[in-house]
Chains A and B, each alone.
Chain A
């Protein structure tokens, strides 16, 4: 008697091919999601650090009034306020941390801090300390302060 139980080889090949394609697609999705998750965690931390320091500096500027800024090194800027106090924004290479006044924050691994740039004319003071990260080549997470001081 002829036995018709079982599956033909073509059915098996087609079924397995479809299953393999679905598994490969799922695997790719998992890999992409993992990369996005890791990148977003790092980006969030970088932006949080940037926001905290920018907030602290602008709070002082708005509270005390900014008189002038001066360089105290390649990675150091002194903010001088109208109440005759001053605070330093600086990056310490040995400690791998950025500090503003008493506030200190370690930079995350993979970050690159570049030399600070100061611009002043009569009424505009600008301070820029660029910070980049190897995962985000086109993004900047630096400290960027622009302040308008009306002379009239």
Chain B
């Protein structure tokens, strides 16, 4: 019987190509995950953003708004209160303008259901991603800021 020598190299090349393409696709997916995490590290909780968030907190504390806001936020179904336009005070407007702030949120995390990732209506997709990304604890209040340059900052406001 004659030995068949035809078609051997094509099959080999096809198999190797499939293997290599499979490895490349796997590497690309992993690279996308790393690239996303890297991007997040530059946009989430920036130093400038955190200090500006602290200034907002100081403003709320000094004007005795914080306790009222904390009481109000508990009454909301999704336990998040958008205080971006909380007051028409000139200093509040200046803080938002100079801080290049887009949205200010105060949220209360009471139980496990509140800690779960949710999509809140009225907030941008990226802000929702940030809120779901940060580590949250039960029975705590958080202030969350969205800035115009697509950076975000948040810290705990204290326990209930």
Residues of A bordering B, CB below 8 Å? 4-8, 11-12, 14-15, 18-19, 21-22, 25-26, 29, 33, 36, 40, 43, 47, 50-51, 54-55, 58, 119, 121-124, 126, 128, 139-140, 144-148, 150, 152
A18 to B12, CA, bound (A): 11
- Does B59 make an interface contact (CB < 8 A)? yes
Shortest Cβ distance from residue B63 to the other chain A in the assembled complex, whole angstroms: 8
* Contact between chains at B99 and A14 (CB < 8 Å): no
Given A4-B5, A18-B14, A51-B47, 19 more A-B residue pairs with CB atoms under 8 Å apart are A7-B5, A7-B9, A12-B9, A18-B13, A29-B24, A29-B28, A51-B48, A55-B47, A119-B98, A121-B90, A123-B94, A124-B95, A126-B99, A128-B98, A140-B149, A144-B100, A145-B51, A146-B98, A148-B62
Residues of chain B within 8 A (CB-CB) of A126 are 94, 98-99
Known contacts A18-B13, A140-B149: A119-B58 contact under CB 8 Å: no
Question: In this complex, what residue of B is CB-closest to A124?
Answer: B94
Report Cα–Cα, A58/B95, bound state, in Å: 16
Counting chain A CB atoms within 10 Å of each CB, the highest count among B9, B56, B59, B149 belongs to B9
Interface residues of B (CB under 8 A from A): 2-3, 5-10, 12-14, 17, 20-21, 24, 27-28, 31, 35, 38, 42, 46-48, 51-52, 55-56, 58-59, 62-63, 90-91, 94-95, 98-100, 149
